[in-house]
C-alpha cells in the first residue's frame, strides 16, 4: 500500500470518527479547542526532569477517547508514526547529560534519560490530545471555531477549501503515482525529473480546477465574501467543560499528586 493511499485512508478515517454522535462530539468546538490548548500549554510547562507529575494528564485524553468512542490503538499508532523527530532530538539528552540524578537500588539514572523520558511522555500527550481533538470535533468545525475566535475569515475559508480538495486531489495524485509505478522497473522512472513532470501536470490540472471552482462561485453570486449560515452555540455545558478541565490541569500543575499519593503509599508500606 503506497504512502499516498495510507494518508488518504487516515484522513478518511479521522473524518469518519469526527462524524460520530457522542456527548463529546456534540460539545461546541470552541470549548474543545480552548481546553486542548490549555492542556498542551500546561503539559509543556513542566520542567524537563519531571515525569511523574505529568502522569495525571493522561486522564484527559483517556476520558475524551472513551466518551468519544475513539479507537485507542489507531490513534496510538498514528502517534508512533510521527515520533521519530522528537526522538532524534531527545535522544541526545542521555548522551550529553550524564549527571546522575536518581538512584533506585543499584540502578543509577542520569538526568539525560529522565529528560528524554519526559520529552517522550509530553510528546505522546500533546500529539495525542491534538488527534483526539480532531477525531471528536472534525476539521470543519475546528475551522469554524478558529474563525469565531478571531482568526481572519479568509484564512479559515482557505483552510476549508484546502481540506475539501485534499480528498479530490489525493485521489488524482494517487492515480498518477499508480500509473507511473506500473511502467517503472527497477526503480527506473521514479527519479526527480519524472517527478517534476508528474507534479507539473498535476499542478496544471489543479489550477484549471481552481478556475472552474471560481466560475461556479461566480455563478452563485460570489463577490469576494464567503458567507455561512451557521451559528455555534456555547452554553453552560461548554463553560463547565472548559473551566472544570482547566482547573484540573492547573491543579495538577501545581500539586504533584502522584508524588503525594506515592509518598503516602510508600510511608504506609515502610
Partner 1 sequence: MHMADALISPAVGGTMWAASAGLIAYCSKKVRDDVDDIKIPLMGVVGAFIFASQMINFTIPGTGSSGHLGGGMILAILLGPYAAFLTMASVLTVQALFFADGGLLALGCNIFNLGFFPCFIAYPFIYKKIAGEQPTQQRIMAGALAASILGLQMGAFGVVLETLFSGISELHFRTFVLLMQPIHLAIGIIEGLVTAAVVTFVWKARPEILEMAATAKPVRHLSLRNVIAGLLVFAAITGGALSWFASANPDGLEWAMFHVSGKEELESPEKGLHSMLGAIQEKTAFLPDYSFKNPEEKEGHAKTGEGEPAANSGEDGKWPTVSAGTSVSGLVGGALVLVLAAFIGFALKKRS
Partner 2 sequence: MSHHIVEVKNLKYTYPDGTCALKDISFRITHGESVAVVGENGAGKSTLLLHLNGYLMSGNGIIRIGDYPLTKETVKEIRRTVGMVFQDPDDQLFMPTVYDDVAFGPLNLSLPPEEVDSRVENALFTVGALHLKSRPPYRLSGGEKRSVSIATVLAMSPDILVMDEPTSNLDPRARRKLIELLKTFKHTKIIATHDLDMVMDLCERTIVIHKGQVMSDGPTAEIFMNQELLAESHLEKPLRMQGCPVCGNK
Number of residues that bind partner 1 (CB under 8 A): 133
CA atoms within 13 A on the CB side of 93: 21
Give the residue from 63, 118, 29, 71 showing the smallest Cα distance to 249.
63
228 binds, among ligand ATP, partner 2, partner 1, none (CB under 5 to 8 A by kind): partner 2
Determine which residue in the list 20, 163, 237, 246 makes contact with partner 1, applying CB under 8 A.
163
20 binds partner 2 (CB under 8 A): no
Binding track, positions 52-91, relative to partner 1; x by CB under 8 A: xx-xx-xx--xx-xxx-x--------xx-xx--xx--xx-
Q: Which is nearer to ligand ATP, 2 or 263 (CB)?
A: 2
Residue 26 per-residue DSSP state: H
207 binds partner 2 (CB under 8 A): no
For residue 100, what is its C-alpha cell?
Answer: 546522575
Q: Of the listed pieces 147-155, 229-237, 240-248, which binds partner 1 according to CB under 8 A?
A: 147-155
134 binds partner 1 (CB under 8 A): yes
Nearest-angstrom CA–CA distance, 242 and 240: 6
Nearest-angstrom CA–CA distance, 258 and 251: 12
119 binds, among ligand ATP, partner 1, partner 2, none (CB under 5 to 8 A by kind): partner 1
185 binds, among ligand ATP, partner 2, partner 1, none (CB under 5 to 8 A by kind): partner 2
| Helix (H) / strand (E) containing 86 | helix 84-90
Q: Which is nearer to ligand ATP, 98 or 175 (CB)?
A: 175
Q: Which is nearer to partner 1, 201 or 239 (CB)?
A: 201
172 binds partner 2 (CB under 8 A): yes
Q: Which is nearer to partner 1, 211 or 244 (CB)?
A: 211
Residue 55 neighbours by CB under 8 Å, 6+ apart = 121, 258
Please state the closest distance from residue 145 (CB atom) to partner 2, in A: 13
Determine which residue in the list 59, 91, 149, 179 makes contact with partner 2, applying CB under 8 A.
179
Q: Which long-range contacts (CB under 8 A, 24 or more apart) does 2-6 make?
A: 2/174, 2/177, 2/178, 2/181, 4/170, 4/173, 4/174, 4/177, 5/174
For residue 228, what is its C-alpha cell?
Answer: 455561512
151 binds partner 2 (CB under 8 A): no
Please state the closest distance from residue 179 (CB atom) to ligand ATP, in A: 15
Q: Return the residues of window 223-242 that contact partner 2 according to CB under 8 A.
A: 223, 225-230
Residue 54 per-residue DSSP state: G
Give the residue from 103, 104, 117, 32 showing the smallest Cα distance to 67.
32
Amino acid at each position: 500500500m503506497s504512502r499516498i493511499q495510507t494518508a488518504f485512508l487516515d484522513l478518511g478515517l479521522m473524518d469518519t470518527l469526527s462524524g460520530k454522535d457522542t456527548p463529546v462530539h456534540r460539545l461546541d468546538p470552541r470549548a474543545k479547542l480552548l481546553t486542548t490548548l490549555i492542556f498542551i500549554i500546561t503539559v509543556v510547562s513542566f520542567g524537563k526532569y519531571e515525569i511523574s507529575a505529568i502522569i495525571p494528564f493522561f486522564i484527559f485524553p483517556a476520558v475524551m477517547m472513551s466518551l468519544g468512542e475513539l479507537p485507542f490503538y489507531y490513534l496510538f499508532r498514528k502517534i508512533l508514526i510521527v515520533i521519530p523527530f522528537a526522538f532524534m532530538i531527545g535522544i541526545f539528552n542521555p548522551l550529553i547529560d550524564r549527571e546522575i540524578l536518581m538512584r533506585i537500588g543499584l540502578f543509577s539514572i542520569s538526568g539525560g534519560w529522565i529528560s528524554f523520558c519526559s520529552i517522550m511522555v509530553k510528546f505522546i500527550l500533546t500529539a495525542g490530545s491534538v488527534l483526539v481533538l480532531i477525531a471528536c470535533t472534525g476539521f470543519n468545525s475546528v475551522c469554524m471555531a478558529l474563525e469565531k475566535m478571531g482568526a481572519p475569515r479568509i484564512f479559515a475559508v482557505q483552510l476549508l477549501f484546502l481540506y475539501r480538495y485534499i480528498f479530490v486531489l489525493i485521489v488524482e495524485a494517487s492515480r498518477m503515482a499508480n500509473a507511473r509505478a506500473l511502467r517503472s522497473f527497477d526503480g527506473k522512472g521514479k527519479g526527480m525529473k519524472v517527478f517534476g513532470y508528474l507534479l507539473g501536470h498535476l499542478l496544471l490540472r489543479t489550477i484549471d480546477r481552481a478556475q472552474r471552482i471560481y466560475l461556479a462561485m461566480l455563478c452563485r453570486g460570489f463577490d469576494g465574501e464567503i458567507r455561512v449560515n451557521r451559528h455555534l452555540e456555547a452554553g453552560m455545558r461548554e463553560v463547565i467543560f472548559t473551566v472544570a478541565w482547566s482547573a484540573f490541569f492547573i491543579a495538577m500543575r501545581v500539586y504533584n499528586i502522584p508524588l503525594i499519593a506515592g509518598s503516602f503509599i510508600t510511608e504506609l508500606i515502610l
